[in-house]
Amino acid sequence: MTIAQLHSVFLRFPVICTDTRKITENCLFFALKGDNFDGNNYALEALKKGASHVIVDDQKLENTEESVILVNNVLETLQQLAKYHRLYCKAKIIGLTGSNGKTTTKELVTAVLSKKYRTIATKGNFNNHIGVPLTLLSITPDTEFAIVEMGANHPKEIAFLCELALPDYGYITNFGKAHLEGFGSEEGVIKAKSELYDFLIANNKFIFFNADDPKQVSKLVAIKNKLGFSHQQQSHLSLKFLGANPYVTIKFQEVQIESKLVGSYNFTNCSAAVTIGNYFNVPTLVIKEAIENYIPNNNRSQIIDKNNSKIILDAYNANPTSMRAALENFRELKADKKIAFLGDMFELGASAEKEHQDIADLASKMGFDEVILIGENFYKTNTDFLKYATFNGLEQDIKNIHTKDATILIKGSRGMALERLVDFF
C-alpha cells in the first residue's frame, strides 16, 4: 500500500492510536516498537477493541485479517503519512523549539491565535519523532494554524522534524544548558536548536526572534524575513516588562497585560505570544484577554496556596539555565520567609558535577532562609545545605523542616517528581 493509499484510509478514519489501552472506535492503530514492547503483538487485540485498521511490520501478521496493513517499518510509515497529510492540508505551520519555555510559549501562542483562527497545537510535550507526526495528523481540513513544538536531545533531530513538519514560521525560545549529555556543550545546543532557523532560512520562510538575545540576533543579521521583539530597542516590536511579583505583567501598545505566570523569565514567553499574535492581526485587547486567561498547569510555574504557605511549583523540568532563572526570580520575590527545594538536573553528562556545584554556590549567595537539595548529583556538592541523595531520605525528615508561613520554590527535573512534596506541606 502506498502512502497516498494509506492517506485515503486515514481520511475515512482520521484518528491515530499507538496504545491498545486507548483504542477508540474506528481508529487506526500503528504498531510501534519500543525498547520493552512490540506493538505488533497487540495488533489483533486492537482490532477486537474497535480499531478499523492496524498498521504492522511483522510479516507473521500478513493476511491474518483484511484490516491488517503490512508495511516495511511502522514508525517510518507514520512519519511519511504525517508529512503527506501536512502537504495535503492548508494549515500554516509554526515551529517552536528552544532549551526552556517551549511548552509554555506554545500554549500562549495557541491561546492567542485561537481567538481569531482555527488552531491546533502539540498536546502536552509530544514533541519528538513520534509526537510531531501525531500532531501533524491531528490537523483537519479547516485548520488554519498548527503550532508544532519540536524537542531534541541530539544533533540533527530538529532538522529531521523540520523535514516532516515543513514549518512556514518559526521561533526559538532560547539557547540554554539543556541535554548537554547529547549535545556535548552549550555551543552544541545552539547549533542543534538553530536547525529550525537553518530550515526556515533555506526555504525562505519567516522567523520570529527575541531581539534582546545576542545569540539569536547574531544568527539572523543578514535575514530579511524576520520580526524581532524587544523591551530595550525601539527598532523592534516594543514591549515593556512591568514586573513579576509574583505574576509577569507587561505593557504593549499602552495596554497592560497581567498574566498568571510566575517568574520574570516568562516575560519572554508572553512577549513571543504577543508578537506572533500581533503579526497575524489579532487585536491587542484580544491578545490581552488570551494571555490573562491562560492558567499554567502540569507543574509549570504554578502557584499553590496551602496551609498558610505559597508554593511555586516548577517541577516539570530543569537544566542549569532554567534553574538559575528560577533562583534569580525567587530572590526578587517579596516574602518574609523563603525556602527552596532543588532537585537534580538530568542529562548533563560529564558536566553534571560542575553544573550542580555551580547551582549550589549560586543558591548560597541568594540569602534564602533554607535550601534543601535532593538527588544523587546535588548530594555530592560541597555545601552546608541540607542534602538528600533520594526523595525517600527527604520524606523521612520533612516534618522537621518548618514550611509554615513560607514562600516555597520547588524546582527539579521531571525524573525527580518533586511535585510529591506538595502533599507534605
Residue 314 lies in a domain: yes
Residues 219 and 341 in one domain: no
Residue pLDDT, tens place only, 9-68: 999 999 999 999 999 999 999 999 988 889 999 999 999 999 999 999 999 998 788 899
Domain containing 320 — which CATH number?
3.90.190.20
Domain containing 277 — which CATH number?
3.40.1190.10
Domain containing 35 — which CATH number?
3.40.1390.10
Domain that includes residue 93, residue range:
89-292
Rg (CA), the chain: 23
Q: Pick from 230, 261, 292: which residue ends a domain?
A: 292
Q: Is 11 exposed, middle or buried (0-12, 13-18, 19+ CB in 10 A)?
A: exposed
Instruction: Give 370's strand partners.
Output: 339
Average pLDDT score over the chain? 92
Residues 210 and 286 in one domain: yes
130 pLDDT higher than 60 = yes
Report the pLDDT averaged over residues 95-103.
90
Residue 38 lies in a domain: yes
Q: Which amino acid is at 192?
A: A
pLDDT for 175: 82
- Per-residue exposure over 89-127, b if at least 16 CB sit within 10 Å of its own CB, e if not: bebbbbbbbbbbbbbbbbbbbbbbbbebeebbbbeebbb
pLDDT for 390: 94
Query: How large a percentage of the chain has pLDDT more than 90?
Result: 71
pLDDT for 63: 78
Structural domain count, the chain? 3
299 pLDDT higher than 80 = no
pLDDT band at residue 184 using 50, 70 and 90 as cut-offs: low
Report the pLDDT averaged over residues 396-404.
86
The residue with cell 525524573 is: 415
Q: Is the dihedral of CA 232, 237, 238, 240 positive or negative?
A: negative
Most confidently modeled range among 29-38, 203-212, 240-249: 203-212
Locate 315 and state its grid cell.
517541577
Do the beta carbons of residue 274 and residue 250 sit within 8 Å?
yes
pLDDT band at residue 138 using 50, 70 and 90 as cut-offs: very high
Residue 80 lies in a domain: no
pLDDT for 108: 97
Instruction: Give 314's strand partners.
Output: 411
* H-only helix segments in 229-350: 266-279, 284-292, 320-332
pLDDT for 267: 94
State the pTM of this model: 0.85
Report the pLDDT averaged over residues 259-270.
91
Q: Pick from 46, 72, 98: which residue ends a domain?
A: 72
Residue 81 lies in a domain: no
Instruction: Give the span between the Cα atoms of 374 and 390, in whole angstroms.
Output: 6
- Per-residue exposure over 283-296, b if at least 16 CB sit within 10 Å of its own CB, e if not: eeeebbbbbbebeb
Residue pLDDT, tens place only, 162-181: 999 999 999 999 886 655 66
Residues 108 and 57 in one domain: no
- Per-residue exposure over 402-416, b if at least 16 CB sit within 10 Å of its own CB, e if not: ebeebbbbbbbbeeb
Report the pLDDT averaged over residues 288-305.
87
Locate 26 and state its grid cell.
474506528
pLDDT band at residue 1 using 50, 70 and 90 as cut-offs: confident
Residues 195 and 284 in one domain: yes
Q: Which amino acid is at 196?
A: L
* CA atoms within a 13 Å half-sphere pointing along the CA-CB vector of 9: 21
- Per-residue exposure over 308-330, b if at least 16 CB sit within 10 Å of its own CB, e if not: ebbbbbbbbbbbbbbbbbbbebb
pLDDT for 384: 93
Residues of the chain by 3-state class (helix, strand, coil), percent to 5: 40, 20, 40
